[in-house]
Structure 1
Amino acid sequence: MSDHLPRFGDAPAGPSSTLDPDGRLAIRRLLPGTVEDAWSALTDPAQTATWFGTWRGDPATGIEVQMDAEEGRPWMEARVHVCDGPRRLELETGEAGDPWVLELTVEEAGPGWTAVTLRQRVAEAEAAEMIGPGWEFYLDRLVASRTRGDVTAIRFEPDYVPGRCDHFRALYPAT
């Protein structure tokens, strides 16, 4: 990957992208600061606007998120299923027939560090090879936003696609 990606200095175990024991894609990133700081970065519209996109609406009835890094800056609908701050957020996006259920968890990772893990059930390698790099891209933008890095310098292509596609494809056993 390129040199512009976030650096972690003396952080505990760094970024990782794996399948968790439940078979969900799990992408972990470390942020400096407290659990509460990380929770704000994930849920405060002013902060999400710096790395993902702004959102509007009422979490109890549904929100819309404008994805800043996507072509045309589209709005996507999301429904919040669980908001157990400052530790767990579960939401659903996508079409009714093919929803994405995303779980974000926040936990202490060592003195001065917090781990954010995004989990999503992805059924097959062909989907994971694009979904995984996409979430890594956004989570690395989150890290950059929290470490005063240049969020706009993080490029989806070629660093994440095709750069990380093989990694995610390899997580799935050949059938």
Structure 2
Amino acid sequence: MSGELFRTAVGSELVVGRTFRGSPEDVWASITEPERTARWFGPWEGNGAPGNTIRVQMVFEEGEPWFDARIEACDPPRRLGLSVLDENGSWRMDLLVSPVADGTRLRLVHHLQNLDAIGEMGPGWEYYLDLLVAAREGTPQPSFDDYYPRLKPYYLGLVDPDGASTGLDQPSV
């Protein structure tokens, strides 16, 4: 489990990360090139430039739904910012790529307006990032059953009984 929860001026941020062997450019390609995202998340179609909306398919979800994602920021190979509208409403996320001593760190930052579904979101993002690990390393794909409901208590424990983040205050991305 790598998830952390931080308070911000406008809500909270769930941050889940992984470290990969390889350069930031290679990790960037894994999260932005349609044929590579198809291996761990799903394919996408459209013009992948800032301000544009693309269609993304979640092939590892029941029914393999498509959703619209607006590209809010694209700073290769460092930051991809998306706003999404799907059956769960609207939400924002950033994918942050940075070099580290032993490879490249990817941090997924899910900007949360409320914490109602953190017990599901946290395990879901852990699962998807491990799908990315498997795609990059050529290892078997994990099963979502290994993440949920097992990780739900951990993520619920990041929220105090009053519904606030137990993480430290930290500025947004």
Q: What TM-score bracket applies, with the shorter chain setting the length?
A: 0.7 to 0.9
Aligned length in residues: 157
- TM-score after normalising by structure 2: 0.84
Say yes or no: does 1:171 pair with 2:171.
no
Looking at structure 2, the residues matched to 92 and 40 of structure 1 have their Cα atoms a distance apart, in angstroms, of 20
Unaligned runs of at least 5 residues, structure 1: 1-14
- Whether the 8 Å contact between 2:85 and 2:91 is mirrored in structure 1 is yes
Say yes or no: does 1:41 pair with 2:30.
yes
For residues 104-161 of structure 1, give each alpha carbon's deviation from its aligned partner in whole angstroms, at most 9, with x where no partner exists: 10011213x111000112344431000111111101100111111112xx1112x211
Query: Quick one: which of 130, 148, 167 aligns to 1:161?
Result: 148
- TM superposition shift of 1:83: 0.3
Aligned-residue Cα RMSD (Å) equals 1.8
Q: What is the percent sequence identity of the aligned residues?
A: 38
- Whether the 8 Å contact between 1:102 and 1:119 is mirrored in structure 2 is yes
Query: Counterparts of 1:9-48 in structure 2 under 5 Å?
Result: 16-20=2-6, 22=8, 23-48=12-37
Looking at structure 2, the residues matched to 149 and 156 of structure 1 have their Cα atoms a distance apart, in angstroms, of 15
Judge which range, 18-27 or 127-136, deviates more: 18-27
For residues 75-100 of structure 1, give each alpha carbon's deviation from its aligned partner in whole angstroms, at most 9, with x where no partner exists: 11110000001000000112599311
Looking at structure 2, the residues matched to 166 and 125 of structure 1 have their Cα atoms a distance apart, in angstroms, of 14
- Whether the 8 Å contact between 2:67 and 2:86 is mirrored in structure 1 is no
Looking at structure 2, the residues matched to 156 and 124 of structure 1 have their Cα atoms a distance apart, in angstroms, of 24
Looking at structure 2, the residues matched to 148 and 117 of structure 1 have their Cα atoms a distance apart, in angstroms, of 21
- TM-score after normalising by structure 1: 0.84
Runs of 4+, deviation exceeding 2 Å? 20-23, 95-98, 121-126
Aligned residue type for 1:30: T
For 2:78, the equivalent position in structure 1 comes to 87
Unaligned runs of at least 5 residues, structure 2: 163-173
Aligned residue type for 2:2: S
Looking at structure 2, the residues matched to 65 and 18 of structure 1 have their Cα atoms a distance apart, in angstroms, of 26
